[in-house]
Amino acid sequence: MRNIAPLSGVADFVSTPEQITATSSSPAQPTTAAHGSGGEDAGGVKSVRSESTAGILFGIGAYGLWGLLPLYFFVLMPAGAIEIVANRIVWSLLFCALLITITRAWRVLGRALKDRAVFGSLALAAGLIAVNWLTYTFGVTTGHAVETSLGYFINPLVSVLLGVFVLKEKLRPLQWTAVGIGFVAVGVLTFSYGQLPWIALILAFSFGLYGFVKKKVGPRVDALTSLTVETVVLAPFAAITMVVLGVTGAATLTTLGAGHFWLIVASGVITAVPLLFFGASARRLPMTTIGLLQYFAPVLQFIVALTVFNEAMTSARWIGFCVVWLALVLLTIDMFRTARKNSALKKQARLEAA
């Protein structure tokens, strides 16, 4: 099976999380640092700190933009979820094409499209992310922004469940406890909403499965190429949707003035830029730090829902969310414990090898 070569230049900015995981279990080491003089060692430490700082800033940028997406969708109203997602796909494809032209990566994209295994996985990923985008946009534009934030809060729990049922992984005690608490939280929230929080569950499972499928593709395709292939798959459906909406008079793209038009066109940039920031962040930071930063987005979504959209939070919903947050605290503790243990084992292995 042919490997798809990573891009250069701008492409280094958009490395995939899968490529990063193999090299970012510890902060990146500067390639120019020497072991001779103290001055050079000090320069190496400064370089590591600079890289870590940049990684954190890029991570905050990525998750911050994702967390503030509800405000963008709110500004686009009265455009509905279907129109917003259709435009998002089409304009994202054009923006990706521009980036690929700048980075001269058309051959890389061509190899991805010709590789059946890669294309098949990314086509499945495209379907899953389309479901995720539609559900998320529908939730935000119909007064369920709090529930959309819940979906991304429980996403780590779903990822743990996928590890058990799909990858046949064995859970550690704290992980089992967190999953059990998560089920309790869903029960409390079901009672609160009077029905299953289906928006949150669809978001959590669609994004969890999306991440699982993308992980299978692994380092064979970079983030920019991956997003481009996914939008290539979805673009014909999105374009047809835009035409149908236009013919039936349901489209708002060209009917609400130049400002609204350019705001919708900007969805291509708004979709791609956080992905670029995430790639730059994950390349510089250990995965434990990335794991903590991921909560930044749903926290922002939750705050926006309460303070800007003025969505109601009953006592039962507060209890449900607090139970979810307790489960996430346990997962985070387990993550740090495992990271420390792995780090200690690596140090011991290096000492034994020396």
| Contact assessment for residue 331 and residue 186, using Cβ atoms and an 8 Å cutoff | no
Nearest to 122 by CA among 200, 224, 270: 224
Place of tokens 């990858």: 167
**Torsion on CA atoms 80, 82, 86, 91, rounded to nearest 10:** 30
- Most confident range (mean pLDDT) of 84-93, 158-167, 210-219 is 84-93
Model pLDDT for residues 258-291, shown as the tens digit of each residue: 999 999 999 999 988 888 888 778 777 776 777 7
Q: Tokens standing for 258?
A: 């130049």
pLDDT, greater one: 51 or 243: 243
Mean pLDDT along residues 67-85: 94
Mean pLDDT along residues 304-312: 93
Model pLDDT for residues 151-166, shown as the tens digit of each residue: 999 988 888 888 888 8
pLDDT band, very low/low/confident/very high, at 197 (cuts 50, 70, 90) = very high
What's the mean pLDDT when you consider all of the chain?
83
Mean pLDDT along residues 242-246: 95
**Torsion on CA atoms 23, 25, 26, 29, rounded to nearest 10:** 0
Q: Tokens standing for 302?
A: 């939750």
Residue 236: the pLDDT is 97
Runs of H (alpha helix) within the chain? 17-21, 38-67, 69-76, 81-103, 106-114, 116-141, 145-153, 155-165, 173-193, 198-217, 223-247, 257-265, 267-284, 287-293, 296-307, 315-353
Q: Is it the case that residue 20 has pLDDT exceeding 60?
A: no
What percentage of the chain exceeds 90 in pLDDT?
A: 53
| Contact assessment for residue 135 and residue 202, using Cβ atoms and an 8 Å cutoff | yes
How many Å apart are CA 327 and CA 157, to the nearest integer?
A: 8
Mean pLDDT along residues 19-44: 44
Nearest to 186 by CA among 202, 169, 167: 202
pLDDT, greater one: 292 or 318: 318
At 170, phi and psi to the nearest 5? -95, 130
Among the residue ranges 140-154, 211-225, 266-280, the one predicted with the least confidence is 211-225
pLDDT band, very low/low/confident/very high, at 120 (cuts 50, 70, 90) = very high
Q: Tokens standing for 256?
A: 């609400």
Measured CA distances, 161 to 129, 171, 212, 320 (Å): 19, 9, 11, 19
pLDDT band, very low/low/confident/very high, at 50 (cuts 50, 70, 90) = confident
Residue 287: the pLDDT is 67
Nearest to 63 by CA among 329, 313, 298, 350: 298
Q: Is it the case that residue 30 has pLDDT exceeding 80?
A: no
Nearest to 213 by CA among 108, 129, 288, 115: 129
